[in-house]
Amino acid sequence: MYYSKLLIPTLRDDPSDAETVSHKLMLRAGLIRKVASGVYSLLPLGRRVLSKVEKIVREEMEKAGAQEVLLPALQPAELWQETGRWDKYGRELMRLQDRHDRDFCLGPTHEEVITDLIRREVRSYKQLPLNLFQIQTKFRDEIRPRFGLMRGREFLMKDAYSFDADVRAAETSYRRMYAAYHTIFSRIGLHFRAVEADTGQIGGSSSHEFMVLAQTGEDAIVSCDRCEYAANVERAELREASTSSSAETRKAPPKMASVSTPGQKSVEEVCAFLKVSAHALVKTLLFVADDLPVAVLVAGHHDVNEIKLQKELGAATLALANRETVEAVTGGPSGFSGPVGLQDIDILADFSLKAQRECIIGANKQDTHFKHAVAGRDFQISRYADLRNAIAGDPCPRCPGKLVIDRGIEVGHVFMLGTKYSDTMDARFLDQHGKKQPFVMGCYGIGLSRIVAAAIEQNHDAHGIVWPRQIAPFDVEIIPMQEKKAPVMDAAIQLLSALEAKGLQVLFEDRKERAGVKFNDADLLGIPLQIVVSERNLEAGIVELKDRKSGEKQGFALDQVVDAIMRPGNGPISE
Ligand code: ATP
Ligand code: MG
């Protein structure tokens, strides 16, 4: 394809409204343009990359036995009311009304629609297992759409749903999808890790997230430095700290005493002011769980994990208490809360505090903390539990190893749903004995448009994008340096035909631009191989082949460069 004919509006400078590398580069390389917050147009190069991702995903889904369907984006409220999600999904659900004032939403996901289809069409165990997938636009009115395609309000997802006769068969479906996901992300050329994920309110069964490792990832993931254990930080279990007996025998801490901490609210401020480490401090956070206040204590260097807390409390709703509630419950201003004197509310403490003999805590009084506070002596703990996020160096829950923390971008999610939807929507089939049974379901999502951003996040350098070969918008870019010189153009066009004849996708840089501009744009676009055809090299009978990733340049005779590109280990097709 000729560059001059394509819409590739490159930008020389970083756009001011883009924060992440991938967002900047997608705008600069002319892959996307913003239409509204979280809503983007894909331009020709962006569309090409996305199509390649789609192709790989589609192929692997079909290999894994899933059948493609296309469900509607526009969904009637009744289906969502049946599962209760019309209310539960909250403001992320894009709602609208038709001309008859009937409620609809634009699908953020498709469990309701697919379960409705299957309960109408599948009657017998003989029709199972069944796995249906689609590639379709999803709509979610995210609180904070950002980073371009990474977190959009409209985005492309592959979602698949499996239906099985029993849990064992459903586990087989789950494992097949899990394996297919491994193949997909490997084929795309991503450096990724599958981690155990939280199953949220659904609880119980398995769930894994596929994370592309990248510094800018919104998710923190833990993995063990010894064994295979890896989990989303929200999910990572922490063991109860062992209380050392020597601690018991040491002499009791001095009496609790108040210290003045004027204006020092945060852990950092208090620690700096009192010249102690964050380990010495205990944070007291007030939450409201199902309308009841509860105090939660964690060490100064730890953070409360709200998912664990909510599970521990068995609460349907959980939120940090607002300023008024904090004042009403503690009698002091927020920022100085502590457990001493708190009455009539549960005080939960993280496991790790069991081993702590004394601590510094808020005194429920303006500009005041207590030192030498001792649990059981100066304040009471209702119970200890695993309530915090893992941090680097925590012990692995499976082996004597230690946890390390990485950042990741969630590109895929596999989830055992069990009978959650088949029960609420009464979707049942007849088993061998003629008895009605609920379908056992699984659901499996991949963020196709997010993958494009994640791939760039992982594959770029100071000059621009460095596409993994399988999803590059073109395989090769030919750059004739002097477009006015007939021998240069003749040789370049000859190469174009030869490469296209081999089935390669070639971008032909025919613009009337300075060589410097062409080179810079070529590096920005990140096509894996560049062939530079120059007058001087042609006189010696050669052209230059540049590998975008390594930057290596090599001269090849004009009639050998195509073979060199197609050679296993070098050609874009062969990897
Ligand atoms: P996140 O925690 O990032 O919001 P999610 O858990 O809500 O993701 P799922 O419902 O599991 O996501 O959706 C399946 C996949 O769709 C995710 O793994 C992710 O790759 C992608 N995805 C989800 N939300 C968005 C979004 N707003 N923009 C782009 N891709 C998204
Ligand atoms: Mg989400």
Residue 241 has a pLDDT of 66
Give the model's pLDDT for residue 574: 42
Quick one: average pLDDT of 526-540?
Answer: 96
Assess whether the C-beta atom of 30 lies below 6 angstroms from ligand 1: no
What per-residue confidence (pLDDT) applies to 230?
87
Say how many Å lie between the CA of residue 410 and the centre of ligand 2: 10
571 lines ligand 1 (CB under 6 A): no
Q: Return the percentage of the chain with pLDDT > 70, whole number.
A: 96
Interval between CA 175 and ligand 2 midpoint (Å): 23
Note the pLDDT of residue 64.
98
Predicted local distance difference test score (pLDDT) of residue 209: 95
Name the strands in the sheet holding 346-350, side by side, starting at the edge strand that comes first in the sequence.
Answer: 318-320, 282-289, 292-299, 346-350, 383-385
Q: For position 572, what pLDDT does the model report?
A: 46
| pLDDT, tens digit (0-9, with 9 covering 90-100), for 516-531 | 999 999 999 999 999 9
Q: Looking at residue 91, what is its pLDDT? A: 93
pLDDT of residue 546: 97
Q: Is the CB of 158 under 6 A from ligand 1?
A: no
Q: Is 306 in the pocket of ligand 1 (CB under 6 A)?
A: no
Ligand 1 neighbourhood includes 140 CB (under 6 angstroms)? yes
CB 107 less than 6 A from any atom of ligand 1: no
Instruction: Return the pLDDT at 246.
Output: 52
Mutate to test the pocket of ligand 1, among 42, 157, 184, 207 (most ligand atoms within 8 A of CB): 157
Would you call 171 exposed, middle or buried from its count of C-beta atoms within 10 A (0-12, 13-18, 19+)?
A: middle
Residue nearest to atom 25 of ligand 1 (CA): 151
Taking the C-alpha atoms of residue 156 and residue 82, their distance in angstroms, rounded to an integer, is 26
In what order do the strands lie in the sheet containing 529-533? 506-508, 476-480, 529-533, 542-547, 553-557
387 touches ligand 1 (CB under 6 Å): no
User: Residue 552 pLDDT > 90, yes or no?
Assistant: yes
Ligand 1 atom closest to the Cα of residue 446 is: 15
Ligand 1 pocket, residue 148 CB under 6 Å: no
Look up the pTM and report it. 0.87
pLDDT of residue 575: 43
pLDDT in tens, 11-32: 999 999 899 999 999 999 999 9
- Centre of ligand 2 to C-alpha 52, Å, is 24
- Which of 149, 216, 410 has most ligand 1 atoms within 8 Å of its beta carbon, as the pocket-test mutant? 410
Nearest Cα residue to atom 11 of ligand 1: 413
Q: Give the 3-state secondary structure of 296-311.
A: EEEECCCCECHHHHHH
What pLDDT is attached to residue 232? Answer: 87
Confidence of residue 63 (pLDDT cuts 50, 70, 90): very high
Q: Is 422 in contact with 428 (CB distance < 8 Å)?
A: yes
Average pLDDT, the chain: 93
Please say if the pLDDT value at position 286 is more than 70: yes
Q: What is the pLDDT of residue 570?
A: 59
Any atom of ligand 1 within 6 Å of the Cβ of 174:
no
Q: What is the mean pLDDT of residues 344-351?
A: 94
Q: Whose CA is nearest to atom 26 of ligand 1?
A: 151
Rounded Cα distance between 265 and 402, Å, is 32
Please give the distance, rounded to the nearest whole angstrom, from the Cα atom of residue 215 to the centre of ligand 1.
Answer: 18
Query: Which pLDDT belongs to residue 110?
Result: 97
pLDDT digits (tens, 9 = 90+) for 467-507: 999 999 999 999 999 988 999 999 999 999 999 999 999 99
Long-range contacts of 42-48 (CB under 8 A, 24+ apart): 43/7, 43/8, 43/9, 44/6, 44/7, 44/8, 44/473, 45/6, 45/8, 45/473, 45/525, 46/452, 48/473, 48/474
* Residue 377 or residue 567, greater confidence: 377
User: 142-156, 201-215, 267-281, 491-505 — which is least confidently predicted?
Assistant: 201-215
Instruction: Assess whether pLDDT exceeds 80 at residue 200.
Output: no
Share of the chain above pLDDT 90, in %: 86
The preferred substitution site among 233, 413, 449, 452 for testing ligand 1, maximizing ligand atoms within 8 Å of CB, is: 413
Q: Length of the chain, please? A: 575
Model pLDDT, residue 244: 55
Q: Where are the beta strands (DSSP E) in 420-491?
A: 428-430, 436-438, 440-447, 460-461, 464-465, 476-480
With beta carbons less than 8 A apart as the criterion, state whether 553 and 544 touch.
yes
Whether residue 178 contacts residue 209, with contact meaning beta carbons closer than 8 Å, is answered with: no
pLDDT, average across residues 306-327: 93
- Nearest ligand 1 atom to alpha carbon 140: 27
Give me the mean pLDDT over the 438-457 stretch: 97
The reply to whether ligand 1 has any atom less than 6 angstroms from the CB of 217 is no
The reply to whether ligand 1 has any atom less than 6 angstroms from the CB of 411 is: yes
C-beta of 142 in contact with ligand 1 (< 6 A): yes
Judge whether residue 412 has pLDDT over 60. yes
**366, 368, 369, 372: CA torsion to nearest 10:** -140
- Report the pLDDT averaged over residues 439-443: 97
- Residue pointed to by tokens 């371009």: 148
Query: How much is the average pLDDT of 245-265?
Result: 80
Split at pLDDT 50, 70, 90, the class of 362 is: very high
- Taking the CA of 447 as reference, the closest ligand is 1
The answer to whether the CB of 447 is under 6 A from ligand 1 is yes
Q: Mean per-residue pLDDT for 284-288? A: 96
Instruction: Decide if pLDDT at 243 tops 70.
Output: no
